[in-house]
Amino acid sequence: MYSKILDKSAWYGPEEEEKTDWIYNLDYDDIAEINYEADKFINSENDITKINSSNFNLPNLKKKYLEIIDEELKSGRGFALIRGMPTDKWDIKKNIVAYMGLCSFFGNYRVQNKKGHLLGHIKDLGKDTNKDVTARVYETSYRQTFHSDRSDIVTLLCLNKAKTGGESLLVSSMTIFNEILENYPDYLPTLFEPFPLDRRGEEGPGQKGYSMTPVYYEKNGKISSYFLRQYFESSKRFDEVKITQKQREALEIVDKLANDKRLYMRMMFEPGDIQIIYNHTLFHDRMSYQDFDEPNKKRHLLRLWISAFNDRELSSYYEDRWGSVRIGERGGVYADPSKINVPLQAN
């Protein structure tokens, strides 16, 4: 019934760590093009939420890097790193405009929380996800767990890195699929069945407090994945949620393989780095970190969730979690349309 995935989306982390062809370095001309478009947009006095691929034009960078990266995300290893944004030379507004403008090439932004944020600030705000069901791990300095975000693509721009720790971890969910097929084949059918996933207070009108979403599913010959074990565990707070022993064991296997050093890779961010990852073929994680005491030095990343242009079709089984499976319009969190905004600071 299932076949081994043999394309470039199935890779082993230690091998990828030794390569540099997933790093795209910006040169003087690239930065000049981004700088020009950012200044033009700011001077237009348009609302930042209106940045898109038609009003932020990067023709040279598009041909040089962005088209290659887009292909690499969807048909290759599923990740890339753009290096060299001059974040230390620009104020926060210009950094946000430049970052959103560059990333608008890949698709449409999706709302990341009930506050209507199109842009996320990844920063330790002293939250506690164990005590507050609405808190998110990105608002802490905790170790995360391997997971997927609710969008086709997620990007991160590093403004400040941590004093120690905070490495990004990536693992191919397609390699995990292959490992399960070879070593635990009896669990694959279970992983293609819907699992309960807590929405943690971010449900939209008419939605339950949890969704039913499979870890793996196939559509038009492509296997896609979605994994969020922490939210699976917290879904148990709903009395009607029923979880089987086979489901628990299946997720334990996925989590164990994701954390296998043979499979995952580490990536350390430097200020000015933009990480771009494809949620359908890999899971990502972050190590815990120790921050600087000075407020202006604290670890600070910006994040975008993107519904990709010209992307793969998704099974209707993902609609309960994503709100829609329509290409270019899927993913994100429901928020009142009048509240959609781009915050300049973490809040």
Domain ranges of the chain: 13-339
- What is the C-alpha to C-alpha distance for residues 282 and 78, in angstroms, rounded to an integer? 7
- CA–CA separation, 227 vs 242, rounded Å? 18
Q: Can you list the alpha helix ranges (DSSP code H) found in 106-205?
A: 173-183, 188-191
Give Cα separations from 271 to 39, 95, 158, 238 (angstroms): 21, 12, 5, 41
Token pair for residue 216?
Answer: 């793996």
Contact between 258 and 264 under an 8 Å Cβ cutoff? The reply is yes
The whole-number pLDDT of residue 289 equals 83
Three-state DSSP class for 143?
coil
pLDDT at 347: 79
Separation of alpha carbons 282 and 278, rounded Å:
7
What is the topology classification, in CATH, of domain 13-339?
Answer: Double-stranded beta-helix (3.60.130)
Per-residue pLDDT of the chain (347 residues; tens, 9 = 90+): 899 999 999 999 999 999 999 999 999 999 999 999 999 999 999 999 999 999 999 999 999 999 999 999 999 999 999 999 999 999 999 999 999 999 999 999 999 999 999 999 998 776 555 555 555 666 777 778 999 999 999 999 999 998 998 899 999 999 999 999 999 999 999 999 999 999 998 998 889 999 999 999 999 999 999 999 989 999 999 999 998 999 999 999 999 999 999 999 999 999 999 999 999 999 999 988 888 889 889 999 999 999 999 999 999 999 999 999 999 999 999 999 999 999 999 87
Q: What pLDDT score was predicted for residue 130?
A: 58
pTM for this entry: 0.95
